[in-house]
Amino acid sequence: MVGAFASYFPCLSQVLFLKRANLRDTTPLTTVAMTEPPQVQDSQVQESQEFMSLMKSIQKERKETLQRACTNLEKNCKGTGTTHFQRAFFSKRYQLAACDIYKSGSTTMMHSILKMNGVAWESLNFRGMMDASAKIRFSSITDNEEKTAMWNAYTKIILVRHPFERFVSGYTNKLIPSGVGFGGYYKELSPQLNKEYRHLRSDVSKRNATEPKHATFEDFLNYLLTTKERPMDGHWADYVQLCEPCAHGYDVIMKMDTLENDVRYVTSLLNLTAEHSKDFFKNQIGRSTKSNKTMEYFETIPKELANRLYENRRRDFEMFGYRKPEWIC
């Protein structure tokens, strides 16, 4: 079952291609010192060039996939055309615009761009970090012409992840007591979802159960499928509501499941200094919710519910080349 679930990753062929080309993600982006033998330097330069060429091809394919999906999808897939100005960060030094998506590396994205803007976020408390990050969002720019000109001229980046992984991450972070984000609003929301959606549980014997007191994963998915809340909470809202990819295209589409290569590519593309490249997505690589954990949660719900969820968020899958999991077909 886990093997079947893992087949939704479309980038496996790309990873194998990288291995065959012997393009190692640990290879430094800079050339070696002049004291090294010239052939070593030439080898590294060639490898870096091959890597960048391959990544440009992958990016071209991702953008074509997005364009095809946007052409085929319903007319409202473009959203309002302005949401990105509320969510996107900028770095004037590197002419970077990055729209962050909650539960898809958004905190690390914020930390990275704060560093690019000279902010030592480690020394700030949560409130101070939020205040500092608000100053590097496009929403802080009051001149609409300046804001639009920056957006059009800058390299625009979006980071996405498999929708099912993102839902599991949002649920486990916000709606169960062991979650880091289980507090305040979410501590109140979770038992509320339990109360409102437990009558839809597939196991009739659990519909009146007193435990757990928080929302089950099935409660959470039924909430996603039936709620009329607009806008939806950013931790599980769809990609159109958050960053409007059909309206803005994006120059670089990063994915959590290929993050190591994507980070290396962006680091080189933006020509980040050593100071900023070492902090770019520091500690994030390898932390994505893995397919086995995702499968553990989806095994607790009926396939019919998972299929409905897929259909509900189908455009998120299609825009970024994620396949429908075989086990719900």
Domain identity same for 271 and 298: no
In a domain, 284, yes or no: no
Domain identity same for 200 and 301: yes
Domain identity same for 151 and 270: yes
Domain identity same for 173 and 38: no
Residue with token string 């259909």: 311
pLDDT for residue 74 = 66
Domain identity same for 35 and 155: no
Domain identity same for 224 and 258: no
Domain identity same for 17 and 148: no
In a domain, 169, yes or no: yes
Residue type, 304: E
Which residues of the chain have a pLDDT value below 70? 1-40, 74-84, 283-291, 329
Domain identity same for 85 and 157: yes
To the nearest whole number, what is the mean pLDDT of the chain?
85
Domain identity same for 38 and 80: no
In a domain, 192, yes or no: yes
Neighbours of 194 (CB within 10 A): 21
In a domain, 213, yes or no: yes
pLDDT for residue 290 = 57
Domain identity same for 113 and 153: yes
pLDDT for residue 15 = 43
The residue segments making up the domain with residue 17 are 8-61
Domain identity same for 250 and 124: yes
Q: Which of 243, 230, 266 is nearest to 100 (CA)?
A: 243
Q: Which of 48, 37, 89, 68 is nearest to 319 (CA)?
A: 68
CA separation for the pair 217, 171 (Å, rounded): 7
Domain identity same for 219 and 296: yes
Number of domains in the chain: 3
In a domain, 148, yes or no: yes
Sheet holding 155-160, edge to edge: 88-91, 96-99, 155-160, 252-255
Q: What is the pTM of this model?
A: 0.83
